[in-house]
Structure 1
Amino acid sequence: MPYADLSDVRLHYRLDGDASLPVLVLSNSLGTNLDMWQPQVAAFSQRFRLLRYDTRGHGASSVTPGPYTIAQLGGDVVGLLDHLQIARAHFCGLSMGGITGMWLGVHQPQRIDRLVLSNTAAYIGPPENWTNRAAAVERDGVASIAAAVVERWLTPGFAAQQPSLVASLLAMLGATDAAGYAANCRAVRDSDLREAVAAITRPTLVIAGANDLPTPPRDGAFLAQAIPGARYVELAPAAHLSNLEQVEPFNTAVLDFLQG
């Protein structure tokens, strides 16, 4: 497995697609790893050099002392691009990955071509929810919350039809390091980009899931209105992991936007 050893973290990453193609970075949601993007790999890697990575504290990346900040997670992306000698890239992040993308759009626009913000929000409150969740996983492990969390990732009807997918998501979340998960919970808790996103100048696509409970469509609509010139797509039926529930519409929306 390839790793990038940055100043204070080792990031696990994977590259797919021809090296001559423009780079598209995919950033995972809280409690997942780069495998959450598997349904996108075949379609995206035909047109882009696809760079997936495990966010700090997730998957095979190292678990550094927390709490983390979104600025720290955004800095990891910049460090990874520097490590791979990539000057600019498209960026697509879902949920926490989308918050990372917002930070990059505000603070590192020179490194971003086009930006896709999926199933995410400029602020996900209330903060005590994140504080309580972090404390719960530190006390009882991530597996203790896995069933309740995964239940919100997919619509009930889709989940009932896809038991193997549900099982894989439960396993992925349950395997996440408790300290890493808690540190990232606190990064999301402490991030409020509601005013800052108006400064994003990169072309932006916002994707929402019509049935998303953690980041409902109103959060996506806010981003699309706040970011100058942003486009908005709402997928239905889809809960929080719209890239898994509406694979073809998600892939089409992203590819059309990035190639437009």
Structure 2
Amino acid sequence: MKAPLVLLHPLGADHRFWNPVVEALPDDVGDVVVPDLLGHGSAPLPPQGATIDDFADAIEADIARHSQIHLVGVSLGGLVAQVLAARRPDLVKRLVVADAVAVYPDAMRAMWRNRAATVRREGLEAVVEPMEALWFSEAFRRDATDAVERVRRILLASDPEGYARTCEALAIADTTALVGSVTAPVLVACGKDDAPPFRQATQWFAATLPAVTVAWLPGGHATAYEHPKPFADVVAGFLS
């Protein structure tokens, strides 16, 4: 039996982020598992002072019935995936880290703390525009309004405190000391138009990981959602 493919979504989304990718994956990929991360969708809130380890703990408990998995994570999900792959080499057969960092630069750490405060003060409406500007190209925002609206509705239906606590976890996240212990083959994927910290992190992963493949894909931070077919193709090719 094939190891299932577990997909971990980014901040402000839930399992539905993956719907376009799941539809584009070939049938021979096997079972696909799409859990919600803490503070998102149907998952409980992260604890006060949560770290990325807490998010990884929850996913590990969610998938405890599986002896081996292939693991894909975008952004927040990519950080969680790194932790799981490092701590459970017996569990993670292959790892895909997409549009993610190992540690945020200082300016982004401050941005995450400020964003947590903003959401607590003004609500999630205040972060819709920054999220969409990072995630999507201008053409996609103009021409795929229904797809963008679906993401916006997921964000606005989220728990503001869960979002804020997740931002605070991102502000202190740092897997730089962990990734060297990842033994699974790794695919690092990134949108060609993603923000500089994510493009730079992709190059860092390429230079740091012992068994790594790099894929540059069309689009920005949410290349998986905006361009699901190229994303699905590169993941399926890596798994095969």
Give your verdict on TM over 0.5.
Answer: yes
Would you say 1:211 and 2:205 are equivalent positions?
no
Candidates 93, 100, 107, aligned match of 1:120? 100
Taking structure 1 as the reference length, what is the TM-score of the superposition? 0.87
RMSD, aligned α-carbons: 1.5
Q: Hey, what's the Cα distance between the residues in 2 that align with 1:34 and 1:205? A: 21
* Alignment deviations for residues 122-160 of structure 1 (CA, whole Å, 9 cap, x no partner): 112322111111011111111221122112101112221
CA contact (8 A) 2:46 2:166 kept: no
Q: How many residues align?
A: 237
Instruction: Return the offset for 1:215.
Output: 4.4
- Identity of counterpart residues, as a percentage? 27
Instruction: Return the offset for 1:41.
Output: 1.6
Higher strand share: 1
Gaps of 5+ in 2: none
CA contact (8 A) 2:105 2:197 kept: no
Q: Which amino acid aligns with 1:101?
A: A
CA contact (8 A) 1:58 1:180 kept: yes
Would you say 1:252 and 2:233 are equivalent positions?
yes
Instruction: Return the offset for 1:45.
Output: 6.8
* Alignment deviations for residues 167-214 of structure 1 (CA, whole Å, 9 cap, x no partner): 111111111111100111111111111232122111100001111127
Shift of the 39–138 alpha-carbon distance from structure 1 to 2, 3 Å rule, reads same
Instruction: Return the offset for 1:221.
Output: 1.5
Would you say 1:164 and 2:149 are equivalent positions?
no
Instruction: Return the offset for 1:163.
Output: 1.1
- Where does 1:72-87 land on structure 2 (aligned, <5 Å)? 72-82=54-64, 85-87=65-67
Q: Which amino acid aligns with 1:54?
A: D
Higher helix share: 2
* Alignment deviations for residues 97-146 of structure 1 (CA, whole Å, 9 cap, x no partner): 00001111211211101000001011123221111110111111112211
CA contact (8 A) 1:208 1:216 kept: yes
Specify the SS of the correspondent of 2:215. strand
